[in-house]
Structure 1
């Protein structure tokens, strides 16, 4: 039997109460194991799409399937890791607590969560920051923590919403290297960005979204 796609969107639409149409009858399939880019300007609907996949908003119409399961199901929610564009960290928690609490939210036991947090702190070079509260971190360190948090529960699909926004070039390259390694280990990656260079460098396939509609889909070379 052919494996289910990592992500399947069927006729996805989202209209807000003020009449704004964020997504309009959008169909999209992301194969399992893909490194897939979603490229579009600010306001194109990328973040709304991600929110629908992560079950953070109710869509007006359509269906979202994650590895063949409805997005609202427990199995689908646990299969997805999200690194958000906006830096959304609890200001009262330390780096270690942020990771451990996130692991617990996704069903990890205390011992497992602490072990995984230590692993993430090591991987993302946060060794000297484990006991530091998040407001005292630099912007670059916060970006690292967001990605570490997204990976705490070992998701099969990782969604990166503008993961290098506001970081310097050196850190951007460092994050790229880690994301590539993650993909090589079998994780499906969905990257949203408005940087064409970033999408071309990292992604096997790219979809262009504008005004809530999918307008093109091809390899990076094919879209040039």
Structure 2
């Protein structure tokens, strides 16, 4: 039988990798960390805003009648935001006191709501808010107080407003237009609120919604609408 010759195995030293081929650990610059931190903070801020949005607009609607009261007052309910608010409140089951200056338009919105929601009670009050602080305005306020006396008024929507004459230079706005905007947008809102707020306080519940204008905060100054902006702030 043949045998293998004696073999000797000699360990070879490890090959040395040249310094130029080694992977060197690079230090991350400070500005990169700063930008990453800024981005993370922005993502967190956006996340909180989304959570706030979802919690307000996607939550279950509350029972307004149970939470606030059986009746709602809407000023300027014949068009635009006021009309939409009146229709939505009727949809939620609240009875309505509609306050406006045009009897034909008040009748139209009242009939529209009655056809859609037969169970909703509706009262209308004729009130030209531009006459606030006059004898006619005082009489209209008396009628409004009589209309809401004894009612469980839980919601007040101060929507009525006027912007005429529109975009004009301040020195071109006549004094009558100033007074009209102040009366409708500020004084009337205050007087109507004063008429219903004591009852809300006695009952320990209620909600007052004042419809403002984006022109009062969307820009540092809304061009050519200074009087209107001042009354809708």
Report the TM range for the smaller structure's normalisation.
0.3 to 0.5
Higher fraction of strand = 1
Q: Larger C-alpha radius of gyration, 1 or 2?
A: 2
TM-score of the superposition, structure 2-length normalised? Answer: 0.32
Higher fraction of helix = 2
TM-score of the superposition, structure 1-length normalised? Answer: 0.33
Higher RCO, 1 vs 2 (CA within 8 Å, ≥6 residues apart):
1
